[in-house]
Amino acid sequence: MTTMTDASVREFKMPDVGEGLTEAEILKWYVQVGDTVTDGQVVCEVETAKAAVELPIPYDGVVRDLRFPEGTTVDVGTSIIAIDVSGKAPAEAPAEAPEAPAAAATAADTAPEKKPEGRQPVLVGYGVAASSTKRRPRKGPEVPVQQASVSIQTELNGHGPAPADPAPTAPAVLAAAAGQSRPLAKPPVRKLAKDLGVDLTTVIPSGPDGIITREDVHAAVTATETPVPAPVVPQAQAQAPVTVPAAPAASYDAARETRIPVKGVRKATAQAMVGSAFTAPHVTEFVTVDVTRTLKLVEDLKQDKDFTGLRVNPLLLIAKALLVAIKRNPDINASWDETNQEIVLKHYVNLGIAAATPRGLIVPNVKDAHAKTLPQLAQELGELVTTAKEGRTSPTAMQGGTVTITNVGVFGVDTGTPILPPGESAILAVGAIKLQPWVHKGKVKPRQVTTLALSFDHRLIDGELGSKALADVAAILEQPKKLITWA
């Protein structure tokens, strides 16, 4: 353990990198124990339920400790890294007994944090390390791996992986737990254990500094249901690392099945969709429309100098058609306030665009889309889609949406019955545009045809209102000149 006074240590806590977020997963550490860091240097990348974010450190100093390993989900407000601001590299000292997390946090709570003015976490894409901050090379001698506290050594900046801490023996873990008057666990974990009837003093901790995790509690339950005898360890090997196998949560053939943890964007999407589907009574209406003239207008706009360098496609005119339909039927742009039992009419449109990303579905939105000119709308839609595909969408860009478009047609699908994003009143699904036989001016001709589907919250939108809005969108796409007469 390092020998330095606690007064020189600053604890950097997991910030709320998005409005209302409660936790984030540490994806990657960019520093190691012993590295020198400067104010504003990115030290790690974390993933929230909405985006991947790079966190800059607000101190100058030397990394004393990394509190959690990569892959750990940490609650907002929990210390994740300790920085010695005295400027001295940590010195080697004999190993000491580990401190409890509460005691380690005491010095951090009494020492004021230095917060840079106007500095915000740097938003990056999922799995994309794109930081303008240079990462300093590791200086000085290697710091020995500590058994008492969690000091994570990762393979960064050309350094090989440091030797891992030896796993504690099962008897040693149980003995340590027995000697504590109160097992180390966070409040949510204690509640989980209480709900499941698990005695925390019997649980083998796997977290840093002997902290019991949610997985430990579930493993204890599973072990109780399906007992797995601990291996017999000879006396001569009592101090050797022993791994006690935990019973599998479920029996399955690894060659025939793959199990993927539900977390991050996928977890947030699942929770939001379940909440929306079982809260708002959904109604979906459909209309099939001839969009031949709309496609011709798209080709004309591509030649217009006002759209030079901009992405012009059918989605642009569909978005504009929806905005005009909302202007003609403003009550469709609303939300339901359950707490106050009120319908909230929105006098602005934050137009969401559902985007599929490698980590799941996200719905960023164009702020105040109703006030944009067509070239401005084209520019913002292009930036929104590009940013989403690169995984660089910020949490702010996904907040405050009022109405959404989902373009399932890009996958060759005719249409669908979309689920409302939470808090929104309507979502328009656009199907594939296909050449089909169509009656045009009394004759059957090949025309470009698509099917639209509008889902809306029937608590605040009646069938008449929803039908009128959908009919207006269809009328504009069939006769784009209505953009002039109705706008």
> What is the distance between the terminal CA atoms of the chain, rounded to a whole angstrom?
70
Q: Is the pLDDT of residue 161 over 70?
A: no
DSSP-derived secondary structure for 114-171: ---TT--PEEE-TT----SSPPPPP-SSPPPPPSSS-------TTPPPPPPPPPPPHH
Are residues 116 and 185 located together in one domain of the fold? no
% of the chain residues with pLDDT over 90 = 42
E-strand stretches of 194-304: 282-290
Q: Is the pLDDT of residue 336 over 70?
A: yes
Q: What is the mean pLDDT of residues 240-258?
A: 61
Q: Is the pLDDT of residue 154 over 50?
A: no
**pLDDT averaged over the chain?**
76
Q: From 89, 106, 124, give the residue that closes a domain.
A: 124
Strands of the sheet with 122-124, listed across from one edge = 73-75, 23-29, 42-47, 52-56, 122-124
Is residue 269 situated within a structural domain?
yes
pLDDT tens, 80-125? 999 999 865 554 444 444 444 433 333 334 344 444 444 444 333 3
Are residues 185 and 278 located together in one domain of the fold? no
Residue 182: predicted pLDDT? 66
The answer to whether residues 259 and 253 touch, using CB atoms and an 8 Å cutoff, is: no
> Which of the residues 282, 347, 370, 458 is marked catalytic?
458
Among 230-244, 280-294, 413-427, which is the least confidently predicted range?
A: 230-244
Q: What is the mean pLDDT of residues 125-150?
A: 37
Are residues 375 and 275 located together in one domain of the fold? yes
Are residues 120 and 182 located together in one domain of the fold? no
- The CATH number of whichever domain residue 392 belongs to comes to 3.30.559.10
Are residues 276 and 399 located together in one domain of the fold? yes
Are residues 61 and 105 located together in one domain of the fold? yes
Are residues 24 and 75 located together in one domain of the fold? yes
Q: What are phi and psi of 382, to 5 degrees?
A: -60, -45
458 is catalytic: yes
Are residues 115 and 199 located together in one domain of the fold? no
Give me the domain span that covers residue 482. Answer: 265-486
Number of domains in the chain: 3
Q: Is the pLDDT of residue 3 over 50?
A: no
How many whole angstroms separate alpha carbon 321 and alpha carbon 369?
12
